[in-house]
Amino acid sequence: MSIFKIEGGHRLKGEIVPQGAKNEALQIICATLLTASEVTIHNIPDIRDVNKLIFILGELGVKIKKLDTNSYSFQADDINLEYLESLQFKKDGSSLRGSIMIVGPLLTRFGKGYIPRPGGDKIGRRRLDTHFEGFIKLGAKFRYNKEESFYGVEADELHGTEMLLDEASVTGTANILMAAVLAKGETIVYNAACEPYIQQLCKMLVSMGAVIDGIGSNRLIIQGVSNLGGCIHRVLPDMIEIGSWIGVAAMTRSALTIKNVSWKDLGLIPNVFRKLGIELQQIDDDIYIPSQESYEIQGYMDGSILTVSDAPWPGFTPDLLSIVLVVATQAKGSVLIHQKMFESRLFFVDKLIDMGAKVILCDPHRATVIGMNHESSLKATTMSSPDIRAGISLLIAALSAKGTSTIHNIDQIDRGYENIDERLRSIGARIERIESTF
């Protein structure tokens, strides 16, 4: 397993171009299974999770052409459904969360979709009920092999229906939507997730010939069509990566420009960082963060302490709470971080406490951070990345800390951040990737 060695305490400077969004790319790549025609996708991030999904599509028989580092074409005109029942698929499919979204397209186009319990971050229970309840409503038969943790749905034909999702699951909405576009008749999905990446998926499906109303809302109305054609699609910049770069700038007191961020798709993200006292300037479609010696957390109007919590879009994304938490450790003032969606995402604060941060873990969902206002630095240490966002948060902490830190298990960071070490070096960070054969 490779490690990062980071010599912290240095100011950074320059421009960063955000990668394409991981969580959009995973949906969009799965949607290529809905048509026998060629689909071209630009701005696909070159990261582990996405590359694993592309590998799975290749094993399924999809013809894949890599046009350049971040552009691919996919043609699913000769699918090998036998792969779905192979031992190899049980291993490949379980290695990432995004693989769950091949089920909807396969079910609707080929009458069956299987998946081992998908992987992804170990950040608490991550149930799949919403996905399968949606497929069952559309007329699919469901089976689950408990010993193998293997899910399956089958149907000769799917029929449009009305459904109220039990929760606004992001991948669940994507999966049901992709199944419904080729179902017979009208499907209404209420309590649908509606974040920009779902909107992007809807737009892509419409350009392939799907008929979808209510895009951007939590009520999607889909008129099934008999087949879909090809299209060209461009993935949005990754809002979680953009938030991570804001965190890097604040913690290292650096001036950074984040290019072409698609401001209109960032929702509450700029607001939340501004509430921590971080100055963000909009220059065209870029974010400019000036070097700030100090940033002060704003309380509420009545003087009470700020809470930053997650909620389904247009609420604040849970994927940025770990980054907000680490940034707060050097703010002036205090904040309560409330991670409502996931149960095990805050345990990494132990490492920050070892580094000298003032954090009280109140319970698995809540942590109070008492900012140190850069009056004392975090201390370098050796740590391991438990999940993708805790991993990048520890990396940000290490960049601001005095001395040299080591981060193990950096595969977790590579799941979602393209060439992070090289890009950090390009703005002056002292970070080294040490490949290990152990």
Ligand X SMILES: C=C(OP(=O)(O)O)C(=O)O
22: annotated binding-site residue? yes
- Out of ligand UD1, ligand X, none, what residue 388 binds, judged by CB under 5 to 8 A for its kind, is ligand X
Candidates 97, 137, 233, 365: give the one binding ligand UD1 (CB under 6 A): 97
Q: Rule CB under 6 A: is residue 167 a binding residue for ligand UD1?
A: yes
Q: Is 175 annotated as a binding residue?
A: no
Report if residue 389 touches ligand X, rule: CB under 6 A: yes
Tokens of 438: 């152990």
Residue 92 touches ligand X, criterion: CB under 6 A: no
- Alpha-carbon distances, residue 312 vs 104, 228, 256, 340, 380 (angstroms): 22, 30, 29, 10, 35
23 known member of a binding site: yes
Report the nearest approach of ligand UD1 to the CB of residue 339 (Å).
Answer: 10
Residue 62 is a binding residue for ligand UD1 (CB under 6 A): no
By the rule CB under 6 A, 120 interacts with ligand X: yes
The residue from 195, 319, 414, 418 that contacts ligand X (CB under 6 A) is 319
DSSP 40-106: EEE-----HHHHHHHHHHHHTT-EEEEEETTEEEEE-SS--GGGGGSHHHHHHHTT-SGGGGGHHHH
Residue 26 or 202 having the CB closest to ligand UD1: 26
Instruction: Find which of ligand X, ligand UD1, none residue 312 binds, CB within 5 to 8 Å per kind.
Output: ligand UD1
Q: Could you give the 3-state DSSP secondary structure of residue 262?
A: coil
Distance between CA atoms of residues 179 and 107, nearest Å: 7
From candidates 75, 94, 169, 339, binder to ligand UD1 by CB under 6 A: 169
Angle (nearest 5°) at CA 54 between 53 and 57: 90
Q: Using CB under 6 A, pick the residue from 98, 230, 237, 270 that binds ligand UD1.
A: 98
CB 50, CB 83: distance < 8 Å? no
Q: Please identify which residue in 113, 172, 196, 270 interacts with ligand UD1, judged by CB under 6 A.
A: 172
The footprint of ligand X on this chain (CB under 6 A) covers a number of residues equal to: 11
Residue 266 in contact with ligand UD1, rule: CB under 6 A: no
Q: In what order do the strands lie in the sheet with 231-234?
A: 63-68, 71-75, 38-42, 231-234
| Cα gap 420→68, rounded to integer Å | 19
- Inter-axis angle of helices 239-251 and 321-328, nearest 10: 10
Confirm if 177 and 202 have CB atoms less than 8 A apart: yes
Taking the C-alpha atoms of residue 123 and residue 416, their distance in angstroms, rounded to an integer, is: 15
Closest distance to ligand X from the beta carbon of 33 (Å): 19
Distance CA 349, CA 328 (A): 12
**Least CB distance from residue 27 to ligand X, whole Å?**
11
Among 48, 52, 97, 233, binds ligand X (CB under 6 A): 97
Which residue number, 279 or 343, has a Cβ lying nearer to ligand UD1? 343
Place of tokens 């149907």: 155
Distance between CA 162 and CA 218 in Å, rounded? 13
Query: Residue 8 interacts with ligand X (CB under 6 A)?
Result: no
Binding mask 3-42 for ligand UD1 (x = CB under 6 A): --------------------x--x----------------
Instruction: Name the pairing type of β-strands 186-190 and 219-223.
Output: antiparallel
* Distance between CA atoms of residues 246 and 329, nearest Å: 14
User: Of 121, 238, 265, 421, which residue is the catalytic one?
Assistant: 121
Size of interface with ligand UD1, in residues (CB under 6 A): 17
Q: Which two tokens stand for residue 138?
A: 């559309």
Q: What is the DSSP string of 207-218?
A: HTT-EEE-TTSS
Q: Within 13 Å, how many C-alpha atoms sit on residue 373's CB side?
A: 6
Show the site string, 9-28: x = touches ligand X by CB under 6 A, - = not: -------------xx-----
CB of 371 to ligand X, least distance (A): 24
Q: Is 411 a catalytic residue?
A: no
The listed partner (ligand UD1, ligand X, none) that binds 170, CB under 5 to 8 Å by sort, is ligand UD1
164/83 Cα distance (integer angstroms):
33
Would you say 388 or 396 has its CB closer to ligand X? 388
Q: Should residue 168 be labelled a site residue for ligand UD1 when binding is judged by CB under 6 A?
A: yes
97 is in an annotated binding site: yes
Could you give the CA distance from residue 218 to residue 43 in angstroms, rounded to a whole number?
27
Q: Which residues are catalytic?
A: 121
Name the residues that contact ligand X, by CB under 6 A: 22-23, 49, 97-98, 120-121, 319, 388-389, 416
**Per the annotation, where are the binding residues for phosphoenolpyruvate?**
22-23
**Per the annotation, where are the binding residues for UDP-N-acetyl-alpha-D-glucosamine?**
97, 319, 341
Name the residues that contact ligand UD1, by CB under 6 A: 23, 26, 97-98, 126, 167-172, 312, 317-319, 341-342
